Amino acid sequence: MVRGAVGGVLAGAVLVVAGGGAVADAGTDVYGVRTAARFSPPTAFIASSALTYDQQLVPAAAAIEVSQRGGTGRGMTVSLSVDGLAPGHAFGAHVHQKPCGADPRAAGGHFQHVVDPEQENAANEVWLDFTTDGSGRGAASVHKAWGLRPGEAGSVVIHDAPGTEGKRIACFTVPFVAQP
């Protein structure tokens, strides 16, 4: 379920945030982030960290929540949930390099564990493709044996089709945590 205020406990590190935040506890090897927002168009009077470029598929006020959790040497899990998108549609979603902007290309390319400008693939990237149900809800989660590098992951981009061929239709800036 997507919600505006979130909280949880990560092996001794407490994460309690309104709207999103990150935690990395120096006393443990556990880290994580959970953040949520409602989509708005880039031209909205009050900007959101979640932008929609196609209101037919991702209407303004639709919701998104992204979480990342991991531990040194154990990799990480990234999860996504959405509510209010076009029902019964298959979407692509990937972690991208930069934060969102008014131009859908502002988020840069996909984050890659091993940088390979010639090839995009699910094994080397964080893919969260999902299909919405009849109410416009969807979710995806993926575990990777590796973590993110500092400053190299800044958003989750939603595409109008799964895989790598879809057009960018929405973007959510996420304060991802690099693996300690």
- Domain layout of the chain by residue ranges: 30-112+123-173
pLDDT tens digits, one per residue of 158-175: 999 998 889 999 999 999
What is the reported pLDDT for 174?
Answer: 98
pLDDT tens digits, one per residue of 63-94: 999 999 998 788 999 999 999 999 999 999 99
Q: Is the pLDDT of residue 125 over 90?
A: yes
Mean pLDDT of 24-40: 80
One-letter amino acid at 48 equals S
Model's pTM, two decimal places?
A: 0.85
Query: Which CATH architecture is the domain 30-112+123-173 placed in?
Result: Sandwich (2.60)
HEC states along the chain? CCCCEEEEEECCEEEEEECEEEEECCCCCEEEEEEEEECECCCCCCCCCEEECCCCCCCCCCEEEEEEEEECCCEEEEEEEEECCCCCCEEEEEEECCCCCCCHHHHCCECECCCCCCCCCCCCECECCEECCCCCCEEEEEEECCCCCCCCCCEEEEECCCCCCCCEEEEEECCCCCCC
Enumerate the β-bridge partners of residue 90: 131
